[in-house]
Amino acid sequence: RTRSTWSVKKGFDFTLMVAGESGLGKSTLVNSLFLTDLYKDRKLLNAEERITQTVEITKHTVDIEEKGVKLKLTIVDTPGFGDAVNNTECWKSVADYIDQQFEQYFRDESGLNRKNIQDNRVHCCLYFISPFGHGLRPLDVEFMKALHEKVNIVPVLAKADTLTPGEVKKKKIKIREEIEQYGIKIYQFPDCDSDEDEDFKQQDHALKESIPFAVIGSNTVVEAKGKRVRGRLYPWGIVEVENPAHCDFVKLRNMLVRTHMQDLKDVTRETHYENYRAQCIQSMTR
Ligand code: GDP
Ligand code: MG
52 CB within 6 A, ligand 1:
no
pTM of the model: 0.89
ipTM of the complex: 0.99
Residue 43 has pLDDT above 60, yes or no: no
* Residue type for position 246: H
Which of 121, 136, 167 minimizes the C-alpha distance to 20?
136
Rounded mean pLDDT, 137-153: 95
Q: How far is CA 29 from CA 13, 182, 201, 215, in A?
A: 20, 27, 28, 8
**pLDDT for res 235:** 92
Q: Which residue has the higher pLDDT, 195 or 142?
A: 142
Q: Which residue has the higher pLDDT, 41 or 110?
A: 110
Which of 141, 131, 133, 162 minimizes the C-alpha distance to 232?
162
The H-or-E segment that residue 231 falls in is strand 227-234
231 CB within 6 A, ligand 1:
no
Rounded mean pLDDT, 168-177: 97
28 CB within 6 A, ligand 1:
yes
**pLDDT for res 161:** 96
**pLDDT for res 80:** 77
Q: Phi first, then psi: give them for residue 206, nearest 5 degrees.
A: -60, -35
Rounded mean pLDDT, 1-26: 70
When pLDDT is cut at 50, 70 and 90, the band that residue 87 belongs to is low
Determine which residue's CA is closest to atom 18 belonging to ligand 1.
25
When pLDDT is cut at 50, 70 and 90, the band that residue 274 belongs to is very high
When pLDDT is cut at 50, 70 and 90, the band that residue 85 belongs to is low
